[in-house]
Structure 1
């Protein structure tokens, strides 16, 4: 007998999952376009009211262009529908506002569309090399034969020593061709693009665990210690028993290893310094350069969900008064016994008058204070102090006390490093106008450099000559920062929206 019945059931189950349902139907293209325009790697969540208005604007714009859109709906109705279809997730932000974020199913669907819309070679040398290296490494670890493992290690050592000796003797260093580098870029972008959905699946698993534990605690059908034991067991199972959990654990190890993280940053910079990177668009460069940021943000979201779950358990344990609950249970049982005794003689329609609230006690008392004419006198008139009030600050004075001028600083950085007459950020700062040389502007320049990963260790320091709003001059010792051509290009496309909140 063939396996067609089982295979048909598995395919039907896959087609009914939210990932493929998002890409199916008449309005699939509209939904994917809205999600790609609204969410990005730097904008993972949007306030609910803002997304409603944004979807309304998309509907109006498409209607003006003659594009067919879902009829008789608005942004709020569509967002509620997408939440029910498990494409959007609605949650409370730290400021108690309601925000939307994409589910792991929606992220997988967007990654699939992104891969299909990008020109790439399905079978490439870099992809095959990755497979061969992975198989070789796991074969070495999986081999139970000690001699076989020794032979494998010896062969690798001889191969590496031969290559080292050849290079030490003046051998030619074969640089990767542009075609090989482009294949590597495509493979790397695919791997980085899969990270957000992996982390989102871990976050959703923790959220499901949170909801189940809340339900168990509210039902009170199980002891609190049993709920805690199940939570600890599932927490360990989530990290070690699922692929996304193991990926989360590996990312956690990566972020705790400063040397490994620095090596990743340096290797990414070496890859982007290759001449073949010039053909990549700014979006791809930003995605490769932000690999560490993707891992860090995914870790932050998962840990936030775990903190919420831990806070729920702590709050229940602290506020759970077992003695008081036993007293209440004793009273309810006593009432039940009296009710059973009363029902032995009472008829089916017998009623008992019962006040929902106890009657108010009427207690007589003496007057504690007698009437005082002074207490009824009006307060003295207020003094007129308008002439003594200081002049309000001007708009320019308020602006000089505010945060960094990110737009002006980015324009100055791009222009200076494009002309090539400035080689460090410190020299640029010392030549800026007085209004852009406040101490806070130094933080703005470092923030812009961090957005393109231009901060590097071991570059030395230089002096930033800052001028405060009152004219006082102060010198600050800051790490030396320089921008490459690729970083200047990436800086032009960096979104500064919400930067003041970061």
Structure 2
């Protein structure tokens, strides 16, 4: 009796997979077209709001083009429906943005459709040569007979040596046909196209493992020490707990070799620069092959990020898990259940208990914001004894030399210069004739302040004159100041000093 019953069960399980349910869906053509147009190798994740708008736009364009057999609903409703079909998954990025990503089942369906759209021969020289080389290499790596493995290596070395010597002696390069190149490029594109779904399958395995561990933590009533031990044990076996994780671990060990990736990049560049590649490959195929190394790196980074997210989630759960609080809640619920059983034993069928849904509000007339602090009433700390750190004694002349301008002496000098028989040409010339104690840099501001409040002086902003100041330590400092000249008065009209009052000069006056 044939095993047709078992085969039917296995086929039924295969048809129940989300990949085939997507392909046999009523609107499968439309869904596949939307997925292929929205998700590309460079855009594996799309923000939720943007994908909703894109789906609406795609459906509108199809209606305008005359297609009537379209799925009903808005873009958001369709995306949620596709999530329930396990073709889309929605996650939250680190910045809080919700994004959609194709599941491995949807990517397998897209790869199948893509492979059917490419022209390829069912049987060719390249296909047979690829099988022979793969079997030979596999046998070389796993053959348990040491002698057989050495014989295989010797024969391969001899073959490669003969080929190298023939080329060095000027032998002709073997010509390949266009069909052979077409088959080789097709198989290479098919292998590269399967990489995103392989990486996505590993990510989904880690996500399922995280959900499984969290479910077991929440459902089991165990001590914190047991939970931590189980967490550490499962963390150590995250990469080996599933078949996908073990496969990725082996691939990761191979692909983190930078020299191997560099060799892959160089080989792809050589294939893309082949004379026949221009007639065989289109722009999309060239872009896919050229971005193979980047695709591998992004896939590895995505899987490692998902693994780190699993570890971070479990660690956060362990740190925030409060066993005492859970036990108190469980005890409270048990007490409520006991009281309910006791009440039901004596209550009638229509007896009700007034139970408020929310607790009553507490009226607080005044809530203290600050409480008594004994430190506020403590006395100040004792002063520190600095008698030994006292600076050297300063005389009155030293203190005055470090102070502000000497307004009284400057005012007397200005009045004396204005009232003298010799004409006063400018304020800078007057400053040069003063004594050394009155020629400090700060005295310049005093002169500007005094002459600003006098009516007998005018400022010339277009010209500058240099004030040669002397510091108390004997050093010089030259300052360029706008020219201030006295206004000529009659013999009986002294300068008006009614506005000569102390004050601080403005910023524009000191410019």
Query: Is this a same-fold pair by TM over 0.5?
Result: yes
CA contact (8 A) 2:120 2:182 kept: no
Corresponding residue number in structure 2 for 1:5? 5
Inter-partner Cα distance in structure 2 for 1:118 and 1:160: 34
- Per-residue CA deviations over 1:371-418 (Å, capped at 9, x if unaligned) read xxxxxxxxxxxxxxxxxxxxxxxxxxxxxxxxxxxxxxxxxxxxxxxx
Match of 2:167? 167
Q: Partner residue of 1:190?
A: 190
Contact 1:251/1:299, CA 8 A, preserved across alignment: no
Residue equivalent to 1:460: none
| 1:207–1:192 Cα change, 3 Å | same
SS of residue matched to 1:237 = coil
The Cα of 1:27 is off from its aligned counterpart by 1.0
Report the counterpart of residue 481 of structure 2 in structure 1.
none
The 2-side partners of 1:353 and 1:18 are apart by 47
Distance in 2, Cα, partners of 1:174 & 1:72: 58
- Report if the CA contact (8 A) 1:213-1:227 is conserved: no
Alignment map for 1:325-404 (pairs within 5 Å): 328=328, 336=335, 356=359
Distance change >3 Å, CA 60–CA 321, structure 1 → 2 = closer
CA contact (8 A) 2:239 2:246 kept: no
Kept in 1, the 8 Å contact 2:87–2:106? The answer is: yes
Q: CA deviation at 1:49?
A: 1.1
Q: Deviations over 1:306-361 (max 9, x none)?
A: 111111111122223456667x479759x959978x969x9558989999579678
Cα distance change on mapping 1:348 and 1:229 into 2, 3 Å: farther
Q: Which has the larger radius of gyration?
A: 2
Bigger shift: 311-320 or 278-287?
311-320
2:83 is the alignment partner of 1:86: no
- 1: CA distance, partners of 2:291 / 2:262: 13
Distance 1:5 1:347, change over 3 A: closer
Distance 2:68 2:355 in 1: 65
| Cα distance in 1 for residues equivalent to 2:103 and 2:337 | 54
Counterpart Cα distance in 2 of 1:25 and 1:338:
48
Equivalences for 1:7-406 in 2 at 5 Å? Answer: 7-70=7-70, 72-222=72-222, 223-225=226-228, 227-228=230-231, 231-232=234-235, 235-238=238-241, 242=243, 244-279=244-279, 280-322=281-323, 328=328, 336=335, 356=359
Give the whole-Å Cα distance in 1 for the aligned partners of 2:164 and 2:21. Answer: 53
Provide closer, same or farther for how the CA distance between residues 67 and 230 of structure 1 changes in structure 2, counting only shifts above 3 A.
farther
- In the alignment, is the contact (CA less than 8 A) between 1:192 and 1:288 conserved in 2? yes
**In the aligned structure 1, how far is the partner of 2:58 from the partner of 2:47?**
17
Q: Which runs of 5+ in 1 are unaligned?
A: 369-502
Count of paired positions? 362
RMSD: 3.4
Structure 2: any 5+ residue segments left out of the alignment? 372-511
User: SS where residue 89 of structure 1 aligns?
Assistant: strand
1:142, 1:338 → 2: CA distance? 64
Provide TM-score, normalisation by structure 2: 0.64
Asked if 1 retains the 8 angstrom alpha-carbon contact of 2:240 and 2:246, the reply is no
Which stretch of the first structure deviates more once superposed, 208-217 or 276-285? 208-217
The answer to whether the Cα contact below 8 Å between 1:107 and 1:197 also exists between their aligned partners in 2 is yes
* Aligned-residue offset at 1:50: 1.0
Matched position secondary structure for 1:235: coil
Contact 1:91 1:98 in 2 (8 A): yes
Between the aligned partners of 2:81 and 2:132, the Cα distance in structure 1 is 45
1:170 CA drift (Å) = 2.6
Asked if structure 1 preserves the Cα contact closer than 8 Å seen for 2:125 and 2:180, the reply is: yes
Once the two structures are overlaid, the 10-residue window that deviates more, 303-312 or 139-148, is: 139-148
Change (3 A) 1:16 1:154: same
Distance 1:337 1:106, change over 3 A: closer
How far apart, CA to CA, are the structure 2 residues paired with 1:121 and 1:75? 39
SS in 2 for 1:275: coil
* Relative contact order higher in (CA < 8 Å, ≥ 6 apart): 1
Q: Find the aligned partners of 2:7 and 2:67 in 1 and give their Cα distance.
A: 39
Change (3 A) 1:250 1:295: farther
- Closer, same or farther in 2 for the Cα pair 1:53/1:324, shift >3 Å? closer
**TM-superposed deviation, 1:6:** 0.7
Secondary structure of the residue aligned to 2:238 is helix
Deviation at 1:21, TM superposition (A): 1.1
With the length of structure 1 as denominator, give the TM-score of the two structures: 0.65
Inter-CA distance 172–218: structure 2 relative to 1 (3 Å threshold): same
Question: CA separation in 2, counterparts of 1:325 and 1:76?
Answer: 38
C-alpha contact (below 8 Å) 1:92/1:99 kept by paired residues? yes
- 8 Å contact from structure 1 (residues 251, 295) kept in 2: no
Aligned-partner Cα distance in 2 for 1:360–1:114: 69
Distance 1:159 1:31, change over 3 A: same
